Amino acid sequence: MQFLRIATLHPMCICAKVAFMTTNRLARSIAFASLFALLVACSGSDSSGDGTTDSSAASVATTEPAVTTATPTTSTVAEPVEWTPLGLGSYEVGVATLIIDDDPERPLTVDVWFPIDASVDVSARPAHQYTFLPGVYYESPTAFTATADEIALDAQHPLIVYSHGSSGLRYLHSSYTEALASHGYVVVAPDHTGNTIVDRLANNTFDPAALSLARVNDVGRLIDAFTDPTQPIAGPFAAAVDTERIAVTGHSFGGFTALAMATGFANDLGTVAADPRVDGIMLMAPAISETAFPDETLATVTVPMIVLVGTDDVTTPVDPNVTRLWALTSNSPAYQVRLVHAEHQTFTDVCQYQDFLPSLTDVPQIIAETIDSYALEGCASGDMDDVRAADITNTYVIQFLNELWYDGPSIDPAILGVPDDVFFEAR
């Protein structure tokens, strides 16, 4: 399925926005042909009005009319582009765990994913293990434990900060953070102290208002640390980071956190200003309440944005979390990607944890039960397959970043295609 917004092609023409859905290739071709006819009718001319050719107009083959008899205009419509996932990039991926203790009252446990230098032989290394408890872990299918001196130095790498959801963990979406690193990004993610699964299992109480401020400050601290080569812990990684290319991404409460980095945030406990270093935001199933983000606040968003959400999400449903954000922002480029039959935990690796856990021995029952409870929102019969969802999520986000920083094409269905199990909108 597709949901596309077609922009006006000619400045002298007022065309309605067109939305359409297709369920198979034949229907999609018919829809494209119908859209093309409408656009030709709207454009009136392939000239931009200043003597130059408008390159955005569709290619039209016309027959010169006779003096007295007009020959009907014909058009040629190309076959719709098939969507293809990007897959992993060319870099091997390293993972390191650090403690950022610049604030002794709130030390942050942080994972760093980074491209490994091509001179490093990883063939004999064991896979990296994301450890919940001693003996209870998830083994990465693609990444290796590594150190800062093994980071690729062939370029300065953009910095991505990932913020997990409420009662999550820094590595809960490692299929995503690893994919970004394989394409040349340095990705850092903190355990938001007081708001992790460990805190939940330990029945630690926390104040949501205080956490809202703390989370945004956590991200700002990591940007500080990983852009400062003199920082004692993060400095060795910071030396390879491009300080002019920084983005923030997050899931659920982490989506709130990423958005707040672009808008600023205030409540009765304090204020955090918008961070001008942030060039773009990537939100997954974001929690965006009217209390946290009043209408006038959303109207201030100027940085490029991509929002991904599951159509079946009941925790942070599309309406109002995404519909309101989309309606009240006017930033560009901006993309909305709705994964059909995806749910809230589709944007984590919980399904893979559920599959991997039986290979371990002596897993505490509370861990297994917790993972099973999370898996209800993403791993049930009828939900979008988690591997498929990862392909879609990773591809769209990397295409967004390529456009943002590497002169890549805009995410245009005519160029890159759209999966049949996605609703897509752009501006």
What's the CATH number where 138 sits?
3.40.50.1820
- Looking at the structure, do residues 188 and 55 belong to the same domain, yes or no? no
Instruction: Answer yes or no: do 192 and 52 share one domain.
Output: no
- Do 161 and 45 lie in one domain? The reply is no
CA 358 to chain centre: 30
Name the nearest CA neighbour of 348 among 310, 311, 381. Answer: 310
| Residue with tokens 């959801």, as numbered in its chain | 165
Specify if 369 maps to a domain. Answer: yes
297 and 346, same domain (yes or no): yes
* Nearest C-alpha neighbor of 122 from the set 185, 182, 170, 179: 182
Q: Does some domain include residue 46?
A: yes
Half-sphere exposure of 255 (CA within 13 A, CB side): 24
Q: What is the pLDDT of residue 96?
A: 98
The half-sphere exposure of 35 on its side-chain side, counting CA atoms within 13 A, is: 25
pLDDT value, residue 206 = 86
Contact 95, 131 (CB under 8 A): no
Question: Residue 87: inside a domain, yes or no?
Answer: no
Are 134 and 22 contained in the same domain? no
139: β partners: 129
The SS3 call for residue 297 is helix
pLDDT of residue 78: 59
- Amino acid identity, position 141: P
Residue 227, domain member (yes or no): yes
Last residue of a domain, one of 80, 112, 139: 80
User: Exposed (0-12), middle (13-18) or buried (19+): which is 26, by Cβ within 10 Å?
Assistant: exposed
Distance in angstroms (rounded) separating the CA atoms of residues 103 and 62: 69
Question: Which of 330, 310, 306 is CA-nearest to residue 318?
Answer: 310
Quick check: 216 and 272 in contact, CB under 8 A? yes
Domain extent for 39: 1-80
Q: Which of 55, 80, 105 is the last residue of a domain?
A: 80
25 plus 124 within the same structural domain: no
How many folded domains does the chain comprise? 2
Final residue in a domain of this structure, among 80, 112, 147: 80
DSSP at 361: S
Residue 380, domain member (yes or no): yes
Report mean pLDDT in 10-residue bins for the chain, 427 residues. Answer: 38 33 38 36 35 32 38 57 95 98 95 97 95 95 97 97 98 98 98 95 90 98 98 97 98 98 97 98 98 97 98 98 98 98 98 97 94 97 97 98 95 93 97
The number of C-alpha atoms within 13 Å of 252 and in the hemisphere containing its C-beta is 20
Specify which residues 337 forms β-bridges with. 308, 424
| Token duo for residue 84 | 């293809």
* Inter-CA distances, 15 with 30, 209, 401, Å: 20, 45, 30
Q: 169 in helix, strand or coil?
A: coil
| Residue 85: inside a domain | no
Torsion-angle region of 54 (φ positive above 0: left; ψ -120 to 50: alpha; else: beta)? beta
Residue 88 lies in a domain: no
pLDDT (0 to 100) of residue 80: 72
Angle ∠(39,42,48) on CA atoms, nearest 5: 95
Length of the chain: 427
73 plus 156 within the same structural domain: no
Give the list of residues 6+ apart from residue 368 with CB closer than 8 angstroms, or none: 357
Same domain, yes or no, for 98 and 75? no
| 257 & 306 share domain | yes
Residues 76 and 97 in one domain: no
- 296 and 388 both lie in a single domain: yes
174 and 67 inside one domain:
no
Q: Is residue 365 part of a domain?
A: yes
| CA distances (Å), origin 44, targets 12, 15, 37, 52, 74 | 9, 11, 11, 15, 14
